[in-house]
Chains A and B, each alone.
Chain A
């Protein structure tokens, strides 16, 4: 389709429009309404989390601002201090809206930090395998395959069993659970690229392996890495929430969304649904919006689907 329009433009005598790859990518990405909306939702969530201290009625972890008198109030109730708790309050009288925004800060930090660190480590290991080749590559890929035969959730659970609670420990556990996905992605691209003729040609010209890995293989890995990165970050956020919900993730002093949901769990059977449900909806919106963006990125960046 796009070929036809370019032809028409040329025949009409207009100067040809040169698109940079990024412009093309941007145009294709925003073609999907769902993906655009998902990106908007995710952007809004990040913004809300960043601005939390300025847009919430209370700091839910400043004991001076929280009153037990406000405990378990349904959505829309008025707090002791006079403001309205639109989403209700939790067992210890925290405004849920405030608690959720503060919780998102922690959840997003853990998810993004572990995603980025795992990406860097996995990419480095994948590149080392691609660069070294031979035995070293075989050993590295054996380890990657072995780890990938266990689900990430189980690896993360093993790690927290060994490491204990805390933000740094959770991030470490998530990095260990996820690096292999990135390493595999880099290596898959390297395999494809190494089979191509230009790499053979480059080798014949005496260009060093180092240069081939960094100038040819690395740039080609970027698109799949971005796709894997979005999906893995979503699953890291979800995994952290799961571990925290189980009580083996973040401690009560660092209440992420998962901790909030766990706290509300005991009230669920007595009908005080909001304490668990609203944090859950926040988690849901975050994870689903990232996944929808990732799903569409896969379509846009997949060279096989391009004409």
Chain B
């Protein structure tokens, strides 16, 4: 399997008046051709910033301070703006969280789709229009000609997100970063959107990073999963391994807090405490203060290590697994 993306040691920090926010602080992962990887974490864990770092869309006061992002073998961390602009929307696309906010309200759908093609390929407007129409058809939008003439506010949220997905696939990219694309939608629409996205990646062989806080979404969609906490990946592995037998106490907690049918009536597991203040992270393991499997060793920073075919950042994997089951 050829690797589309290799991220190693990525650090993206924000230099604010109040101090340095280490939003992403040493992240490693790879994505292979046609693979869907779930990037899971609470809000503020740095998962979206990781996505924006790959696209080179980090604005001051933030910047990538360390690490490498190799895309098809080419180093693109802190690459020239021209090169990044060339990749964005062309080889790497992004789907945003809130479809109500991402489409420009005063431009018609066709304008916004056609410009995405014309920015990267010297084709005629007519050709670009036809490709846009076909892309809308592919994501299950009825009468695409009519939709192309519409303004965003005339479309429903689910419809707008389909437009965004169609736009992301327009230039047949190698990688799509989907940043919580279904969070703002109804559950039924959510399932349809996930289905469309999955179908399209299969068809086109596009790799995908699906960023979400919802483990249930990733479980049925991704092949591999990376769990982030406070700017670092704490556990990474095949989706079935991690879901069936989580090793990191944070993953255990996340899974325990998902309501499922077969544990009906039981009290849901709750991770103690609050998401950490990114300006004042605790010494040692960032999850330490909230961890039910904490030992004295946790006063130090655990490094990420390979155990049982997965990566893990924890001193006490066994204790973690025992505590809940």
Contact = CB atoms under 8 A, between A and B. Distances in A.
Interface in A1-55: 1, 4
Interface string A60-71: 000000000000
Contacts of A4: 18
B17 interface: yes
Interface string B12-28: 00000110000000000
Q: Majority SS of interface residues in chain B?
A: loop
B18 to A, nearest CB: 7
Nearest to B18: A1
A4 B17 CA distance: 12
Contacts of A1: 17-18
A1 B17 CA distance: 9
Contacts of B17: 1
Contacts of B18: 1, 4
A274 B188 CA distance: 78
Nearest to A3: B18
A85 B157 CA distance: 75
A4 B18 CA distance: 9
A1 B16 CA distance: 12
A5 to B, nearest CB: 12
A195 to B, nearest CB: 24
Interface string A74-93: 00000000000000000000
B21 to A, nearest CB: 15
B278 to A, nearest CB: 15
A203 B292 CA distance: 49
Nearest to B17: A1
B159 to A, nearest CB: 32
Interface string B191-231: 00000000000000000000000000000000000000000
A4 B280 CA distance: 12
A306 to B, nearest CB: 16
A266 B174 CA distance: 76
A97 B17 CA distance: 48
A1 B18 CA distance: 7
Interface in B17-63: 17-18
Nearest to A4: B18
Interface in B261-303: none
B280 to A, nearest CB: 10
B281 to A, nearest CB: 16
Interface string A239-257: 0000000000000000000
A4 B16 CA distance: 15
B265 to A, nearest CB: 36
A3 to B, nearest CB: 10
A28 B16 CA distance: 21
Interface string B139-181: 0000000000000000000000000000000000000000000
A305 to B, nearest CB: 15
Nearest to B280: A4
A230 B316 CA distance: 65
B17 to A, nearest CB: 7
A1 B19 CA distance: 10
A301 to B, nearest CB: 22
A4 B19 CA distance: 12
A75 B199 CA distance: 86
B286 to A, nearest CB: 21
A4 to B, nearest CB: 8
Nearest to B19: A4
A174 B282 CA distance: 62
B298 to A, nearest CB: 24
Nearest to B279: A4
B191 to A, nearest CB: 37
A42 to B, nearest CB: 31
A95 B276 CA distance: 71
Interface in B236-284: none
A239 to B, nearest CB: 38
B67 to A, nearest CB: 30
A1 B279 CA distance: 12
3 contacts: A1-B17, A1-B18, A4-B18
* 3 closest residue pairs by CB, A with B: A1-B18, A1-B17, A4-B18
